[in-house]
Chains A and B, each alone.
Chain A
Amino acid sequence: MKTEGDAPRASSRFWRLLISIRLTVFLLLSLAATSIIGTLVPQNASPQDYVRAYGEFLYRLFYVLDVFDMYHSWWFQTLLVLLTANIVACSIDRLSSLWETVFVKTPGFRLSAFRKLKDRESFSVQGSADALEARYAAAAARRFTYTRTEKTGEGFCIFAEKGRWTRLGVYIVHFSVVFLLMGGLIGSIFGFDGFVNIPEGETVQAVRLRSGGGEQPLEFAIRCDDFQVSFYETGAPKEYRSSLVILEEGEEVLQKDIIVNDPLRYRGINIFQSSYGKIPGDLKATLEKGISLSFTSRASGMVYRETALVGKPVALPEGGGTFTVKELLPSYRFMGQQDLGETLVGSLASPDGGTTEVKLPIRFSRFDKMRKDARFVIAVDEVVEERYYTGLQVTSDPGVPLVYAGFVLMILGCIVTFFMSHQRLCIDVVGRGRKTMVTVSGAANKNRAGIQATVRQMSRRLNALDRG
């Protein structure tokens, strides 16, 4: 990549910019600063609201700059892409050399370098150096992943190290950021975010998209059998619960009650409880199945119930003639005044041949009592209940596994980077006549206090080992 293009100078300058931490700091701060805009200006509201809030001129300016949907604007996305490029370029640049450092077969140690270190502890023991070698080597091997013993002029030294791989921690963090951005990109290209309202008992096969307002067909159907909402005594909502059934080609394949925070996932599609509402009952459907009417006899006080279908005369008891349901009016103004809502119209044929038109407003069951000289008071018996509909959020996001992998990597990478280090230790054993000097010294790529503690512990352990 470094030598691409016919102007190597320019391209290498570009590359140097791309791998510079200056660019990183600039991008991070720019993202932080520009992100604020979108929290000050409400996003994705209606143009009318914006014009009212900001006036014509600012509205036009903001519109041109994509401020109203800034997190999806070209310039914000460009910052994100640059950030990704910055991380990837840096990783390529550093990782190739770091890789060799991390994956060496035999790590190099220089005794002279260790002898200059400040972080060291010394003690002396009786006896010769050689007698200590095996025990010391074993003690070091217990605490470190790699150890090696070398003879020196006056004795021996043990090199030990651990955590070499932790140098890769930063790159784990950086790759996690790339994972997140890739996952987000995949989600926005291949996923969708829709919603649908399903009245109880009904089935849908498509959902409405949140952005753009188009329709997204589904490969299966969703039926809502039941919706329930419960409340605390305080009036706050306690639970929203929808009983859903998934149907494939008419076959029920899955049943699940969903509540908020416990969605239904099927074939890569997620179905979330999101809202609810009420719709008036479906009278027409009831009417087709037969509507239950009550006839209260004024003479005997008896109540008779009959199921009536449109156009089919019902014989009244006590020889009272017949009643025929004719039609359902969506609204009915009584005496040209108040609208009584949905009203059933029927005709009453008395045994003596006269017919009377009867109006039965559904919601006013005692309305027919007003009819003078009637033998029967008629009412629609079962008031058709309002029904709930459940509001479902229906999404598909194939980027989620990548994003979640990024989440895990980021946490692991941060732990490695912040709290683990590459520790290198040297146990330098020098024979001085009948006495032997032992010096433990160490260095780490970070966390000085950590290596100091390791040196102290190792020195104490070796010293104790000798006594015991």
Chain B
Amino acid sequence: MNSSSILSIVTFVYGLSALLYIICLIFRKDAPGRAATWTAILGVAGNILGVGLRWVESYQLGYGHAPLSNLYESLVFFAWAIVTIYLFVERRYKNRVIGAFTMPLAFLAMAYASLSPNISDRIQPLIPALKSNWLIAHVITCFLGYAGFAIAFGISLMYVVRERPGGQGPVSSRFPEPATLDDLTHKMVQFGFLFLSIGIITGAVWANSAWGRYWGWDPKETWSLITWFVYATLLHARLMRGWRGRKIAYISILGFMAVLFTYFGVNLLPGLHSYGAQ
């Protein structure tokens, strides 16, 4: 059994967990909720195992590098970070409803990594530019940040659904209080903002050690900065102008769209290099 097949199984474990969270939300039953949490924990364990094994395999192949060097590996880490952070939130707030909005994101990230024909799960050797500890710090911090924003996005969606003009439906009335959702969005954005900042910074230091310039207005860099500006706007609107609730939820959703574009969309832009290459 190699790491890729373990991670494929993890994809389905996350999918199952997401399904259980949704069932728990719709049918108001505790049993599927508890099962959802345990399934998610199992998925995280499998995820860690898969990544660890992949690391060992890369040494066996003679390449020997941390499994954080291409799109596949970053998506796997992204999924892990979403579920892990979410589980902390669930424990802290003793609420499983949020899982119905965040687990599907982890599942989608893993499913995209495992199933997309454009993404290779082969372990590749590192090209010279990627041989840097700054790269490892860069990928970890960026994706922790993105995971924070992903969860904030899920919670903002809940806010918008719950507080929609038509009034609450039977399902959305089970969501946490609007004030709690707003507060959680803010906390997750703060977490994400800190790590995105560190991610941009470690990326800049890496670029400076590899190419002698810390900032080059390369489209990927620029889009990460755009994302950073959007979330900075959110923080200022909330702290200084007292925006709450729906407006903040909309900015958080917009911010996550910027995250997705930075991550996937940039490759569609004209005249670009692929992930990590320069």
Contact = CB atoms under 8 A, between A and B. Distances in A.
Contacts, number: 117
B128 A239 contact: yes
A397 B207 CA distance: 14
B225 A35 contact: yes
Nearest to B262: A39
A395 B205 CA distance: 15
A237 B226 contact: no
Interface residues on B, range: 35 or more
Contacts of A237: 127-128
Contact of A32 (B63, B204, B230, B266): B230
B219 A39 contact: yes
A272 B269 CA distance: 28
Interface stretch (A21-29, A312-320, A334-342): A21-29
Interface of B (DSSP majority class) = helix
Nearest to A274: B211
Interface stretch (A117-125, A374-382, A407-415): A407-415
Interface stretch (A257-265, A283-291, A431-439): A257-265
Contacts of A25: 233, 236-237, 241
A410 B211 contact: no
B269 A411 contact: no
B253 to A, nearest CB: 15
A28 B215 CA distance: 18
Contacts of B194: 411, 414-415, 418
Given A238-B125, A411-B197, A32 B226 contact: yes
A29 B193 contact: no
B197 A272 contact: no
Contacts of B127: 236-238
B208 interface: yes
B212 interface: yes
Interface string B216-240: 0101001101100110110011001
A40 B209 CA distance: 27
A42 B226 contact: no
B233 A28 contact: yes
Contacts of A419: 190
A224 to B, nearest CB: 17
A46 to B, nearest CB: 12
A403 B215 CA distance: 11
Contacts of A40: 269-270
Contact of B208 (A71, A260, A400): A400
Contact of A410 (B124, B197, B213): B197
Contact of A261 (B209, B215, B217, B270): B209
Given A32-B226, A32-B233, A36-B226, 9 more contacts: A28-B236, A32-B258, A42-B271, A238-B125, A261-B128, A262-B209, A397-B212, A400-B214, A404-B205
23 contacts: A21-B240, A21-B241, A29-B230, A35-B229, A71-B217, A71-B222, A184-B215, A193-B213, A232-B63, A236-B124, A260-B128, A260-B129, A261-B209, A263-B209, A272-B212, A274-B211, A407-B201, A410-B197, A414-B197, A415-B194, A418-B191, A418-B194, A419-B190
